[in-house]
Amino acid sequence: MSIKKVGILTAGGDCPGLNAVVRAVSKNALRHGVKVLGFKNGFDGLVRNEFIEIDEHAVSGILTLGGTILGTSNLANPFRYTLPPFGTPEEPKDLSSVAMHNFNTNGLDALIAIGGDGTLHMAQQFVDMGMPVIGIPKTIDNDLSCTDLTFGFDSAMSVATDAVDRIHTTAQSHHRVMIIETMGRYAGWIALRSAIAGGGDIVLIPEIPYNEQVIVDYILDRRAKGKNFSIIVAAEGAKNEAGEQAVTRTVAASTDPVRLGGIGFKISNMVEEACRVESRVVVLGHLQRGGTPTPFDRWLSTRFGARAMDLVLEGKFGYMVALQGLAIGECKIADAISKLKLVDPNSEEVKTALEVGMSFGSAQIG
């Protein structure tokens, strides 16, 4: 099959590296004489038929630019469409046939969907309807299976590590317990890796339920040894042994209805009362998704984008590009979304953290 025109979209939460991927896909496509339509705001653009035609000029100078020139949305799900004027949160509509119609009438030979878990679930639904789709794994959470890393993760980890580095001096000066709350949804990758890289004392992640008394004992033990400050890195999705997470809000209309947040303040208040020490909280939030991608993310995004276009040319639809060791390979989108990739409590990485004296706030691990 000869490929003449492809669509590309960026969906779900933004992250550094999206533009680098759009650039790489487009440059590789244009080089092969393939036209590229960039749909606006994720799958919303496919439903509303809103796109720009991408030429060399459009992708010039965007390699280092954060965000996405195409816009994104984590509200627009064609299979449960809630956005006005076509749908409402109370009455979601299935507009997947509209998206399919727009795909066909634009004469597209393939769609390249850049996104995380939610986006790739929608991509798979379109694959099941017969649309030729290639996926590219994006998310700061690093929680997609079949790929060693997602792009965006390294940039987020770098922001979080910088925060752990910077918090040290003020924690030391005031003899405080400082808590850094990271993103990551139901996975602890950002918290774990930034805590290891920055020298955090306690790390709380969803995969290893914490016990408040273990946290208190660890802090008091450090103080008894003359270490009058402690740094806790808490993933937003961290759970206690009862399985409770801190949630700021639930928004039914969103493709990601549970907004996690608040674990930092919960632990800080508990520590102040139980340890009789001062504690403060830094919530990193969307800073982890903003700004220039790290060199690693630009390198990974460029390789992912170029390879995704190669897969289109090879007609390998229903696949997602993946980092396998240091090589770029591919796997079925269905496999990548079959389960979330979480931190393994028995992994070498967790063992390393313990071996350098870190605590997971758990009596079960350590």
Residues that bind ligand F6P (CB under 6 A): 13, 74, 116, 139-141, 183-185, 236, 256, 260, 289
User: Count of CB atoms within 10 A of residue 302's CB?
Assistant: 20
Q: What letter would DSSP give residue 208?
A: B
CA atoms within 13 A on the CB side of 120: 29
CA-CA distance, 144 to 137, in Å (whole number)? 7
Closer to ligand F6P by Cβ: residue 258 or 328: 258
**Computed from CA positions of residues 72, 106, 117, 199, in that sequence, does the dihedral angle turn out positive or negative?**
negative
In the bound state with ligand F6P, the residue whose beta carbon lies nearer, of 42 and 184, is 184
Size of the chain in residues:
366
Nearer to ligand F6P, 102 or 161 (CB): 161
- Minimum distance of ligand F6P from residue 237's CB (angstroms): 8
In 3D space, the residue among 106, 109, 118, 97 whose CA is nearest the CA of residue 42 turns out to be 118
Ranked by CB distance to ligand F6P, the top (closest) residue is: 183
Catalytic residues: 141
Least separation in angstroms between CB 75 and ligand F6P = 9
Helix, strand, coil percent values for the chain (each to nearest 5) = 40, 20, 40
Q: How far is the CB of 256 from ligand F6P (least distance, A)?
A: 6
Helical (H) or strand (E) element with 118: helix 117-128
- In DSSP terms, 38 is beta-bridged to 8, 52
137 or 184, CB closer to ligand F6P? 184
Start-to-end C-alpha separation, the chain = 56
Interior/surface letters 326-357, b for 16+ CB within 10 angstroms, e for the rest: eebebbbbbebbeeebbbebeeeebeebeeee
Residue by residue, DSSP assigns 10-45 as E-SS--TTHHHHHHHHHHHHHHTT-EEEEESTTHHH
Least spacing, CB of residue 290 vs ligand F6P, in Å:
11
CA-based nearest residue to 304, from 65, 132, 136, 111: 136
269 in Cβ contact with 253 (< 8 Å): no
Could you tell me the smallest distance in angstroms from the CB atom of residue 44 to ligand F6P?
15
Q: State the nearest-atom distance from the C-beta of 11 to ligand F6P, in Å.
A: 11
Q: Report the largest interatomic distance among the alpha carbons of the chain, rounded to a whole angstrom.
A: 71
Nearest CB to ligand F6P, comparing residues 141 and 207: 141
Q: Which is nearer to ligand F6P, 28 or 139 (CB)?
A: 139
**Residues paired with residue 329 on neighbouring β-strands, in sequence order:** 322
Q: Name the residue nearer to ligand F6P (CB basis): 4 or 286.
A: 286
Element (H, E) at 104: helix 96-105
